[in-house]
Structure 1
Amino acid sequence: MPDGGEVALELSELRRSLEVGLARIDGQLALIVQRSDQIDKDVEDLQTRVTALERARWPLPTLSVLIALGALVLGVWSALGK
């Protein structure tokens, strides 16, 4: 049967192991929080870029319609001119 000194030593060792483990977990959690914050920032930046691209894209359908109308007018003019 272990005496009081051995029990105290074992408890001390368990406490140290627990503190080391908790410190490691705290460090890993801090890293996860930092990465999460960076991901949130990246998502926000990406959303801003997508919104800017969507705003810049609106003239494309209008331009294609204008080009198609120009081609139609040119085709009709060529057909009537010959």
Structure 2
Amino acid sequence: MTDPAPNDTAAVALELERLRGTMEAGFARVDGALALLVQRSDQSERQLAEHETRLGALERSRWPLPSIAALVAVLGLAVTIWQATNAH
């Protein structure tokens, strides 16, 4: 085997430097994409927490409606029975 010529060594070094630049650019793109995914994940988590809060508030404010409807129905029935018994 022969020793590589100094020109070949410079070409290898230049090619390694190009590869390094390409790898750095690729990693920068991947880092940017990951940062975007983390940001979107954080936004989704905030929206989910907000929706959970709103849903909880709706559920708490809704519970009296069926009770009120049942109470009105019972009162209506009582008034009807009272009127029927007083009519005679």
Whether TM-score is above 0.5 comes out as yes
- State the one-letter code of the partner of 1:24: R
Q: Does 1:41 align with 2:25?
A: no
Q: Does 1:14 align with 2:30?
A: no
- State the one-letter code of the partner of 1:77: W
Partner of 1:53: 58
How many corresponding residue pairs?
82
| Alignment partners' CA distance in 2, 1:11 and 1:79 | 101
Percentage identity across paired residues of the two chains: 48
Partner of 1:30: 35
Question: After superposition, what is the alpha-carbon deviation per residue over 1:7-43, rounded to whole angstroms, capped at 9, x for unaligned?
Answer: 1111111100000000011111111111111111111
Please say which structure displays the higher CA radius of gyration: 2
Partner of 1:63: 68
CA-based RMSD of the aligned residues comes to 1.8
Gaps of 5+ in 1: none
**Greater CA deviation, 70-79 or 58-67?**
70-79
